[in-house]
Amino acid sequence: MSRVNIVKRIKIGGRWKMFSIPRNAKGSYDWNAIADGRYYVEWYVGGTRRRVSAGVTAAQALEVQRRKHHELEGRKLGIPGFETAGETVKKPALHVAITKYLEQIEALKKPNTHRKYEAVLNRFGEFFRDCSSIDAISGDDLTRFVVTLKKDHGLGSNTILHNAVIVAQFLKRHGRSGITKELPLPERITPLVKIYRHEELARFFAVCSDQERALFATFLLTGFREQEVMFLRWSDVNFELRAVRVTSKPELGFYPKRWEDREIPAPVELIEELRKHTHRPNCQFVFPSPTGNREQHMLDHCKSIAKRAKLDPTRFDLKTFRSTYATGMLRRGFDVRTVQHWMGHKSLETTMRYLAPATDVHDELDLVTIPSVGKAAPAPRKSAARETRSLRKGGRSNAGAEGPVPAGALHPGT
């Protein structure tokens, strides 16, 4: 009968060692006799010892042992399909596996995705540089890796979770799919949505040149991502239909997120800004660099304008224009499904996260008082949706004599 042994790998004095599982007086395995570690099963084929990982619980180890035993018996009896049973394919060294995996990511994913995977897996490979193979990594080793990310690298909770997802995908590709399930990971932190207030935007655009005004009006009035504006061509702008599109440019290596082109309606104010915007001869980009190529310093320009306007440059970035757009559209009464399409989001939940809580609430809150005898209850106000419908029909809101907001204006932060 083919013999398959169960052994356990534990760390003693800083070194990993293999121990056979002892048996109790009844002849059964004494699973509690050895410290916590990872189980392996081992057997011999042609005088050579073979060994594979068998999980972290006794039940997993026994199941792997049972299957391996049947495979070896099938080979011994000459059953077709079991000719090579028991032979183990040596997995590549960790750094080789990472290199090959990143080559696949580079070929199949977007450049930004490849850069993220590369940064995470290179850090992972450096931490485990002394491991001979992927199978040598245990759950305890991964826990130490997570702790190192927090203490030594100073990464935040969300970044650590992002690292863990990429590492889990890599390990799953190499046959270690369940090893990250029991990792002690931090809770995800959902930050408050940041948007620009009306006063900030007014000061920002007041100091913009004509070229800068067209660029950042595009961010504000379309909600486009940085690369979507960077790769925006004049052929993507339809002045007649007042629409702006996000389209794939395979020859430039640009693909929209989720690989979906989309078209959004543009406010008349944005269309007028783009009409006035300089169209450089023989240049396809709406916002080219000084050399006529893609402009890759938009964030630097944004912070420079904020500094010029005596605003805090650390509060200004390109993504906040996107959240300001989404919040403004939702508050103006556009349904969330429509805004989801305009933003290019996969789910409604993602779109709703862009709806920042209102801050101009004190006038309304001051109407909430302690009831007392002789004091009449305050008159109920219309809901925001009813007021919006009233304005669209030409009526007036309860806000007073200011009247309706111009169609091209975005005031989400007032």
pLDDT at 326: 92
Return the pLDDT at 313: 94
Q: Which CATH superfamily is domain 198-352 in?
A: Intergrase catalytic core (1.10.443.10)
Cα angle 245-317-281, degrees, rounded to a multiple of 5: 45
Scanning 2-110, the segments in alpha helix (DSSP H) are 58-76, 94-108
Read off the pLDDT of residues 44-67 as tens digits, 9 standing for 90 and up: 887 788 888 887 788 888 888 888
For the whole model, what pTM was predicted?
0.58
Quickly name the fold that domain 94-173 has: DNA polymerase; domain 1 (1.10.150)
Domain spans, the chain: 5-76, 94-173, 198-352
**Which residues touch 168 (CB under 8 Å, ≥6 apart)?**
180
Question: End-to-end alpha-carbon separation of the chain, Å?
Answer: 80
Name the band, by pLDDT with cuts 50, 70 and 90, for residue 363: low
**Vertex 176 angle, CA 172 and 182, to 5°:** 100
* pLDDT tens profile 313-326: 999 999 999 999 99
**What percent of the chain stands above pLDDT 90?**
37
CA atoms within 13 A on the CB side of 113: 17
Report residue 90's pLDDT band, with 50, 70 and 90 as the boundaries. low
CB atoms within 10 A of CB 59: 9
Which range is least confidently modeled, 64-73, 81-90, 223-232?
A: 81-90
Residue 275, SS3 per DSSP:
helix
Q: How confident is the model at residue 120 (pLDDT cuts 50, 70, 90)?
A: very high
What band does 397 get if pLDDT is binned at 50, 70 and 90?
A: very low
Q: Which residue is listed with tokens 């309860």?
A: 398
Helices 318-331/298-308 angle, 10° precision = 80
Whether 399 shows a pLDDT value over 70: the answer reads: no
Per-residue pLDDT at 268 exceeds 50: yes
Confidence of residue 407 (pLDDT cuts 50, 70, 90): very low
Confidence of residue 206 (pLDDT cuts 50, 70, 90): very high
User: If pLDDT is split at 50, 70 and 90, which confidence band does 91 have?
Assistant: low
Q: What is the mean pLDDT of residues 206-230?
A: 95
